[in-house]
Amino acid sequence: MLKGFGAATQEHNLLTALSAGPGKQLFNMSGYAAPKLDTVRIGFIGLGQRGPEHLKNTAKLEGVEIKALCDIRTEMVMSAKKLLDGSSHNPVIYSGGKDEWKKLCDHKDIDLVFIATPWHVHTEMAVYAMERGKHVCIEVPAAVTVEECWKLVETSERTRKHCMMLENCCYDFFELLTLNMARQGYFGEIVHGEGAYIHNLLGLNFDKAGYYDMWRLKENMTRNGNLYPTHGLGPICQLMDINRGDKMDYLVSMSGKDFLMEKKAEELAATDSFFKPFTNHKYRGNMNTTCIHTSKGRTIMIQHDVTSPNIYSRIHKISGTKGSALKYPDPAKISSSDGEKWLSAEEMKVIEQQYEPAIVKKIGELAKEVGGHGGMDFLMDWRTIDCLRNGLALDQDVYDAALWSAIAPLSEKSVANRATSVDVPDFTNGSWKKNKPVDITLQTGGTTKAKI
């Protein structure tokens, strides 16, 4: 059964976050390279905001066949299908019923399923697809409860199917640059990181034409914590080798009150009865701050605010024993080796040339031309398809999907208990001690061509 929007709040009050998994690891998916696929046959579930972007990107790649499209709204499927006009792709259409997505997953000629639906159905769809022999790529977050995170891990390990969360910010250009610099020791040992998702979406959350069935507003009505941690968290975790040499131990989380959402609902309801059900609710606090402690003694601070008139920021701050970096506010900055000053514009150009990642050298200019959040969407989709076609491990695995997503329900638990410390589960069941760091070097792979 599909979980309701209040399920996350109800479940996290019943669950105790375990420091170890519920059972022995069935198979280590970290660094796992599935058999290569010369042609990756793809089905898309959810064609509202994010799905069409992935559809357009993958349709530009060689070795890809778009086999099926699904959305509960027929008009969205047909609109997405038009994006393929003039191409060789002729996908089967699934639409009109709440279980049509299952028919897509049952389709025998599909290798990979992209899931870009409301958060509360991500896990159910991903588990069903993996059970039927498909790799899955899930929009963020991959799950909304700790229990769902464990379901993703267990299913991926048992089926040996990739379960990648589509955290596109790991593929933004400055994040890739700082990851490459960290790998080469520029910052020394990383001691602290900061990330965020600060993005004023108040109007979009209350827009009838925004999110299907107002699902994102409903999430903000029924949950209080950092509901969307992964954009800021993912790149920091890769820099710190989380799940691959270090792990999160515990977190504390605090939310302020809601100063804007309930007022907005009341203001709209005064002239439009559609918004009446959204009044008289205690909404999530506008700003949430979550702090995480790792086994190696590092700290991470993650913030979340999507309803205040703040300037957009993901922060992306790295502090190391030899240097630091800060992406926001623009322009991005890197410190001198003594950490006493930011490098000049001329010095930054030298650093960017010296540490430019191979993936950016290979496909960066094309990605910028294609676009999609400045090109990081295309970089991510190209890299994922290229790994599958070359039989390479993916840059993000199911343990990343589970851990980064779990911060949301764990933060809810901490917020509900006056910022009490909450243990973070080890979804790797101890394999973090031997897992190898993410290495986006293109020493192998990088063969997939694209056309625009």
Task: Give pLDDT tens digits for 103-143.
Answer: 999 999 999 999 999 999 999 999 999 999 999 999 999 99
Helix intervals (H) in 320-357: 345-354
As a whole number, mean pLDDT of residues 81-95 equals: 97
Mean pLDDT of 293-311: 97
User: Is residue 180 in a domain?
Assistant: yes
Please give the average per-residue pLDDT across 64-76, as a whole number: 97
Q: In the chain, how many H helices and how many E strands?
A: 15, 14
Residue 10 belongs to a domain: no
Q: Which residue has the higher pLDDT, 14 or 345?
A: 345
φ/ψ of residue 71, rounded to 5: -155, 145
Residue 394, pLDDT above cutoff 60: yes
Q: From the CB of residue 270, how many other CB atoms can be counted at a distance below 10 Å?
A: 11
The domain containing residue 191 runs over which residues? Answer: 170-361
Sheet holding 324-326, edge to edge: 333-334, 324-326, 317-320, 190-198, 299-305, 288-294, 248-255, 422-423
pLDDT at 22 over 80: no
Number of domains in the chain: 1
Residue 336 exposure: Cα atoms within 13 Å on the Cβ side: 7
In a domain, 284, yes or no: yes
Q: Which helix H or strand E contains 304, and what residues bound it?
A: strand 299-305
Tokens at 171, concatenated: 């593929």
**Beta bridge partner(s), residue 246:** 242
Average pLDDT over residues 236-243: 98
pLDDT at position 4 is 44
Q: How far, in Å, are 61, 62, 256, 372, 392 from residue 57 at the CA level?
A: 7, 11, 39, 9, 20
- Is 346 inside any structural domain? yes
Q: What are the tokens at 164? A: 């990648």
Q: Is the pLDDT of residue 392 over 80?
A: yes
Domain assignment present for 145: no
Does 348 fall in a domain? yes
Residue 289 belongs to some domain of the structure: yes
What pLDDT, on the 0 to 100 scale, is given for residue 440?
A: 77
Percent of the chain with pLDDT over 90: 90
- Position 319 in a domain: yes
User: Residue 328 maps to which CATH number?
Assistant: 3.30.360.10
Q: What is the pLDDT of residue 439?
A: 79
**Which range among 3-17, 335-349, 433-447 has the greatest average pLDDT?**
335-349
Kindly report, residue by residue over 156-177, the tens digit of the pLDDT. Answer: 999 999 999 999 999 999 999 9
